[in-house]
Amino acid sequence: MGQLNLNRVQKFYGTFEVLKGIELEVRNGEFVVFVGPSGCGKSTLLRMIAGLDGTSSGDILIDGKRVNDLPPVKRGIAMVFQSYALYPHMTVFENIAFPLRVEKMAEEKLKAKVEQAARILHLDQRLQQKPGMLSGGQRQRVAIGRAIVREPKIFLFDEPLSNLDAALRADMRIELAKLHRQLKATMIYVTHDQVEAMTMADRIVVLNAGEIAQTGAPLELYHKPANIFVAGFIGNPKMNFLPVTCKGASDEGVVVDYKGQTVVVPVRPHGGLVGRTLTLGVRPEHILLGAGDLTLTVTPTVIERLGAHTVAYAAISGEGENYCAMLPGTVAIRPEETVQTGIRAADCHLFDEAGIALERRVELTDIDMGLLNPAAA
Amino acid sequence: MINRYRWYELVAIYAGIFVFLAFILAPFVEGFIVSLKPLSLLFSSPYKFWPENGSFAAYYTMWESVPGFARYIFNSFFISTIVTAIVLILVIPAAYAFARFNFRGSGLLLGAFLAVNMFSGAVLLIPLFRLMRSFGVLNTYLAMIMPGVAFLIPSAIWLLRTYMMRIPRELDEAAFVDGASHFYTLRRVILPIAMPGITVVAITTFIGAYAQQFIYALTFNSKTEYMPLPVGLFAYFGRQEVIWNELMAASFVGIAPAVVVIFLLQRYLVSGLTAGAVKQ
């Protein structure tokens, strides 16, 4: 079992509140990813779950038992560090065996366990080598092996792939996902890389400035971000935001005005919107060439050809940020040549003045609902 | 490889090196040459730098002039070894604590250690003497070992603490997560990794103890059989004359064991001192 509950967990460094009352439930066997910008408190939260940092207030429960005052080993967790934290003077075998040596496990049993872990991680041939002779990916696997042999209830990963190069990172992502299915253990994974979050997570927890901005399945966060922060954080390139004025609201959706064009965005309205300035969000990949429900004529300044896609950046008068569009790979546009781009109302997101999203009435028939809501599956 | 220096720059550099080396090594060269000369020739005028009919005779006769000399060498070696061992036993856990734990007064203590280092043992001789007398350890090996240990601990702690701070903290954390106690972590993880640093501390402590014992031996010990090498050398100062050639020979023989130890350990010394200087 590996059920984790966080009840109003707070952390202060001096008077600075790093974590502001985190409430979270992680079910047994779930792969949960904490993601957020640097300094959002995600690593601190992980270290608190591990028992490396104390909580200022609130409870951490593992399988219903309060573990705040227990040392890491008694919590039933194992942690994999960003820098691998391998012992350079020990062989791979001794590195993996270290937690078992601490437990004073009998030699035969220890050997069997280490060899089993090595098999899972394809390290059988490396057991007598020192970490210095291994590649980055192999080192990280040794670090994971050291976590596996303890058979913890919960695995904690602190940005384990960020020291690897891009190709190796993709391989390790796949291996970790396989490992999760094989071990069926609860895993909590911290990263600032949204690709890692989107690809591996059952559920993503987006943290911003010490608070949970949103918790949900990867596609839920993509299609129904709860607020501007999540909308801007998930998705690459970043979502475009345009200031619009609310002209009215009906069952159809919210009528907004952008520089003289009105568009009905199919979102669930709440009272007191009319006359207010709202933020319209649209993802670069949803921008089309030609006219749409909302049509913008822009002059691209920079065009990036990525093969599969073309990313075009344009400055829009009166707005600081670049307007970004992701178009097909062979699209016929050139820098400094004006083009017409269109946005479909159904693709739009709408945020109120506080940055909270108005719920989209998106047709998600092409999305598996089980993916959106793991509990319903 | 590009020649980064012009020829005259190279000449200047080597000339500079030669001057400094000559300055440092001249006493040793002179001492060695003196040890080869017969005593009568030493005061001949005009002075001749190169020995005529030089021989290693002094290296044989020195053992006869001062029969206890082997014992003095042993004493020096023995005292330094014990001092080094005690310092290491005390300093390794202390340096680990200073490197890893935040405890109240750690900064103050480190500062105090540095301050103690500023007093040479000589300033404290009289209080130390009274202390030794109260403990009743005057005229024993302990009288030379105890102050030696006390005065060598501060710099050893500073040296080793700096080395241990360079060991990534995540190694401790990983061991802690795996259930290891602090002492287990120190023994199984930190100690092996810090071995080069510990070697550096061992060497500097050994040299320090070798050089420092003179003043304590002179003050706290009057028994000939416990005397270390530097005091033992005084035996060559006779009533009428100083047997210079034998004195020089004895000096070289006396430091030989220490030189051998340092030569054996010097590769650790170099790698220890430069570890972390480049990206690993």
CATH number of the domain residue B237 falls in: 1.10.3720.10
Predicted confidence (pLDDT) at residue B269 exceeds the cutoff of 80: no
In the A/B pair of chains, how many CB contacts fall below 8 A?
54
Give residue B70's pLDDT band: very low, low, confident or very high (50, 70, 90): confident
Task: Give the separation between CA A311 and CA A331, rounded to whole angstroms.
Answer: 10
Question: What average pLDDT score do residues B174-185 get?
Answer: 91
Question: What average pLDDT score do residues B19-38 get?
Answer: 89
Same domain, residue pair B220 and B81: yes
Q: Rounded mean pLDDT of chain B?
A: 84
Q: Closest Cα of chain A to B200: distance in Å?
A: 19
- pLDDT tens digits, residue range B211-265? 888 888 888 888 888 888 888 888 888 777 788 888 888 888 888 888 888 788 7
Q: What is the pLDDT of residue A175?
A: 86
Task: Give the separation between CA A230 and CA A222, rounded to whole angstroms.
Answer: 8
Residue B280 lies in a domain: no
Please report, as a single letter, which amino acid is at residue A360. R
Q: Which residue has the higher pLDDT, B128 or A367?
A: B128
Residue B25 lies in a domain: yes
Q: Closest Cα of chain A to B135: distance in Å?
A: 43
Domain of B41, in residue numbers: 1-55
Same domain, residue pair B153 and B192: yes
Same domain, residue pair B177 and B255: yes
Yes or no: domain A4-229 corresponds to CATH 1.10.3720.10:
no
Contact B176 A72 (CB under 8 A): yes
Q: How many domains does chain B have?
A: 2
Q: How much is the CA Rg of chain A, to the nearest whole Å? A: 24
Q: Which two tokens stand for residue B126?
A: 């009289």
Give residue B41's pLDDT band: very low, low, confident or very high (50, 70, 90): confident
* Residue of chain A nearest B184, judged by CA positions: A102
* Residue of chain A nearest B179, judged by CA positions: A73
- pLDDT tens digits, residue range A122-166? 888 889 988 888 888 888 889 999 999 988 999 999 998 888 888
Contact A77 B178 (CB under 8 A): no
Contact A50 B170 (CB under 8 A): no
Q: What is the pLDDT of residue B276?
A: 38
Same domain, residue pair B18 and B79: no
Q: What is the pLDDT of residue B263?
A: 81
Q: Which residue has the higher pLDDT, A250 or A239?
A: A239
Same domain, residue pair B211 and B129: yes
Predicted confidence (pLDDT) at residue B6 exceeds the cutoff of 70: yes
Residue B250 lies in a domain: yes
* Parallel, antiparallel or unpaired: strands A154-158 and A186-191: parallel
Task: Give the separation between CA B276 and CA A364, rounded to whole angstroms.
Answer: 55
Give residue B18's pLDDT band: very low, low, confident or very high (50, 70, 90): very high
Number of neighbouring beta carbons within 10 Å of residue B53: 8
Residue B60 lies in a domain: no
The answer for residues whose C-beta is within 8 angstroms of residue A283's C-beta and 6 or more apart is: A235, A239, A240, A326, A347
Residue A254, beta-bridge partner list: A249, A265
Task: Give the separation between CA A45 and CA A120, rounded to whole angstroms.
Answer: 29
Q: What is the pLDDT of residue B203?
A: 87
What's the fold here for domain A241-358?
OB fold (Dihydrolipoamide Acetyltransferase, E2P) (2.40.50)
Predicted confidence (pLDDT) at residue B268 exceeds the cutoff of 90: no
**Crossing angle (nearest 10°) for helices B125-135 and B195-220:** 90
Predicted confidence (pLDDT) at residue B272 exceeds the cutoff of 70: no
Residue B61 lies in a domain: no
Same domain, residue pair B92 and B46: no
Q: What is the residue extent of each domain of chain A?
A: 4-229, 241-358
Instruction: Evaluate whether B258 touches B206 at the Cβ level (below 8 Å).
Output: yes
Give residue A207's pLDDT band: very low, low, confident or very high (50, 70, 90): very high
Residues of chain A with pLDDT > 70, as a percent, come to 95
Task: Give the separation between CA A364 and CA A368, rounded to whole angstroms.
Answer: 8
Whether the link from the prior residue into B46 is cis, omega within 30° of 0, is: yes
Per residue, what are the HEC states of B47-106?
Answer: CCCCCCCCCCHHHHHHHHHCCCHHHHHHHHHHHHHHHHHHHHHHHHHHHHHHHHCCCCCH
- pLDDT tens digits, residue range A182-204? 888 999 999 988 889 999 999 99
* Residue of chain A nearest B193, judged by CA positions: A89
Residues of chain B with pLDDT > 90, as a percent, come to 24
Q: What is the pLDDT of residue A230?
A: 94
Question: What average pLDDT score do residues A324-333 get?
Answer: 90
Question: What average pLDDT score do residues A177-183 get?
Answer: 89
CA dist B157 → A127, B15, B89, B204 (Å): 36, 38, 11, 12
Strand order across the beta sheet in which A154-158 lies:
A77-80, A154-158, A186-191, A31-35, A203-208, A211-216
Residue B279 lies in a domain: no
Contact A78 B177 (CB under 8 A): yes
Predicted confidence (pLDDT) at residue B271 exceeds the cutoff of 80: no
* Residue of chain A nearest B178, judged by CA positions: A99
The answer for residues whose C-beta is within 8 angstroms of residue A89's C-beta and 6 or more apart is: A130, B192, B193
ipTM more than 0.85?
Answer: no
Contact A98 B178 (CB under 8 A): yes
Give residue B274's pLDDT band: very low, low, confident or very high (50, 70, 90): very low
Same domain, residue pair B36 and B101: no
Q: Which two tokens stand for residue B64?
A: 């006869």
Contact A102 B189 (CB under 8 A): no
Cβ neighbours of B193 in A, within 8 Å: 87-89
Residue B188 lies in a domain: yes
Q: What is the pLDDT of residue A205?
A: 94
Residue B240 lies in a domain: yes
Q: Closest Cα of chain A to B278: distance in Å?
A: 16
Task: Give the separation between CA B262 and CA A186, rounded to whole angstroms.
Answer: 54
- pLDDT tens digits, residue range A54-86? 899 999 999 989 999 999 989 999 999 888 888
Q: Which of A194, A198, A195 is nearest to A219 (CA)?
A: A198
Predicted confidence (pLDDT) at residue B277 exceeds the cutoff of 50: no
Same domain, residue pair B148 and B9: no
User: Which residues of chain B are at the A interface, by a Cβ-Cβ cutoff of 8 Å?
Assistant: 168, 170-171, 173-180, 184, 188-189, 192-193
Predicted confidence (pLDDT) at residue A236 exceeds the cutoff of 90: no
Q: Which of A371, A42, A89 is nearest to A233 (CA)?
A: A42
Phi, psi of A4 (to 5 degrees): -120, 135
Task: Give the separation between CA A73 and CA B175, rounded to whole angstroms.
Answer: 10
Q: What is the pLDDT of residue B270?
A: 54
* Residue of chain A nearest B176, judged by CA positions: A72
- pLDDT tens digits, residue range A2-52? 889 998 999 998 888 889 989 999 999 999 999 999 888 899 999 999 999
Q: What is the pLDDT of residue B192?
A: 85
